[in-house]
Structure 1
Amino acid sequence: MQMNFNVGGAALNIELTHLVIAGWTGRDAVAITHHIEELAALGVAPPSDTPLYYRVSASLLTSAPHVEVVGGNSSGEVEPMIVQLGNRRFLGLGSDHTDRALEAHSVALSKQVCAKPCAAELWAWDEVANDLERISLESWIEEDGEWVLYQQGTLASIRPLAELIVGAGLDSLATDGCAAMMCGTFGAKGGVRPATRFRMRMIDTLLGREIAHEYTAITLPEVA
């Protein structure tokens, strides 16, 4: 899957060969329980272990402003994203857009059926690796014509990204190409719910910069 990113003003063109969605990555056991309960309210069974690493098609990753979904039961989740190209590593911003109705049947299948939107900008890993927990992420959804804050948190509430890299075997996956991983999310304010418009950003307060992305999910008819 050909992807075009920007790193510090320079183009980075990659052929993505592997995509991993890390789930249940909260560092706080109470927060994990809260997220499990959020999804249980939608009929989603609890995970067999935490964290879990779901492999999905690399072709799902996209920086397009529009994605297509079947039915009206999907929504995004803001997540830090790691891109690994050989021994070069980058931090980016993504959304684990998920079909909530299918999630109640199979989390693994729900991860596979929706595109995974991401911002086209990346930060070099060595610029952030020593102080990752300062990085914050936020998301908004559009409800009744208004943007509503949906998620908010810092990387301090997610398991150390170095731990997730090892758990997913990202270095090994990147030996034959380029691998990317979305690294988990935060609880939703007001509960997980469908939304067709999603806005997200990642903020580095120390260096005074941010990455942002917005997309719309176009609903295709659900034909039985």
Structure 2
Amino acid sequence: MNLYAIGYAGRNKDKTWEHIEELKKIGVPEPKSVPELYHLNPELLNYSDKIHIIGDETSGEVEIVLIADADGNIEVTVGSDHTDRGLETISIQKSKQICPKPLAEETIKFNDIEDEWDDLELFSYVKNDGEWVEYQSGNVSAIIPLEEIKTFLKENGVELKDATVFCGTVPLKDGFIFGDAFKCGLKSNKLNKTIEIEYEINKLKE
């Protein structure tokens, strides 16, 4: 099984480039392409209620996730592209490889929500100083269209078979927060269904 993450997947390309310019000011290198595809270690996938990380500047990020089996049947769920923000200034690829990627075990059949794709809702919260703070909230319409995702993957030699793909996120409410726990979810109003994950962020001693 292969694991991928699509970065810089905002549908509004002008805002995406504005964000890239902002990141460049704090030392994050410009991506080679927009969007950009990251091939990740599948062993990073994490289904537990806690992760262990190194460093003080890591944060979660809610993502809509496609899971394709060997026959090409696709399920949809929610995950967190937990990333080392400090390491991002050196290498985005390495920053994504250093942290576990929490993923919900519950899924929705792709065919059941394909016509609702843009209206699916993503949200996340960070626990900071013992309080849950709203971190992200928005519709999947903020991410590049589904057909563009499929085309992008194909152009990069990725077939949606035996693969898990983190497809993108929605904007942060107010900048990065490096908290002690993270929770996020994906909501389908059509199915009246919400899939959520929550996990503790445990910092290893250095």
TM-score band by shorter chain is over 0.9
Q: Does 1:157 align with 2:142?
A: yes
Alignment partner of 2:175 out of 169, 173, 191: 191
Answering whether residue 79 of structure 2 is matched by residue 94 of structure 1, we say yes
- Give the fraction of aligned pairs with identical amino acids, expressed as a percent: 33
Q: How does 1:16-95 map to 2 (within 5 A)?
A: 17-37=1-21, 39-40=23-24, 42-85=26-69, 86-95=71-80
Q: Return the alpha-carbon distance in structure 1 between the equivalents of residues 97 and 160 of structure 2.
A: 19
Q: Give the letter aligned to residue 68 of structure 1.
A: H
**Superposition TM-score, scaled by structure 1 size:** 0.85
Residue 107 of structure 2 is matched in structure 1 by 122
Is the partner of 2:159 in helix, strand or coil?
helix
> Does residue 166 of structure 2 align to residue 172 of structure 1?
no
2: CA distance, partners of 1:40 / 1:74: 18
Aligned to 1:112: 97
Q: Following the alignment from structure 2 to structure 1, what is the Cα–Cα distance between the partners of residues 18 and 176? A: 11
Of Structure 1 and Structure 2, the greater strand share is in 1
Q: Which runs of 5+ in 1 are unaligned?
A: 1-16
Query: Deviation string for 1:40-79 (max 9, x for gaps)?
Result: 4542122221001100101111111111101111000000
Answer with 35-44 or 63-72: which moved more. 35-44
Change in 2 beyond 3 A, CA 1:93/1:101 = same
Contact 1:38 1:191 in 2 (8 A): no
Structure-2 change in CA distance of 1:191 and 1:113 (3 Å): same
State whether residues 126 and 135 of structure 2, in contact with CA within 8 Å, keep that contact through their aligned partners in structure 1: yes
1:133 alignment counterpart? 118
How many angstroms apart in 1 are the aligned matches of 2:136 and 2:22?
Answer: 13
Task: Provide the alpha-carbon RMSD of the alignment.
Answer: 1.6
- Structure 2 counterpart SS, 1:131: helix
Structure 2: segments with no counterpart, 5+ residues: none
**One-letter amino acid of the counterpart of residue 23, structure 1:** G
Contact 1:31 1:187 in 2 (8 A): no
Q: Which moved more, 1:55-64 or 1:34-43?
A: 34-43
* TM superposition score normalised by structure 2: 0.92
Residue type of the alignment partner of 2:203: T
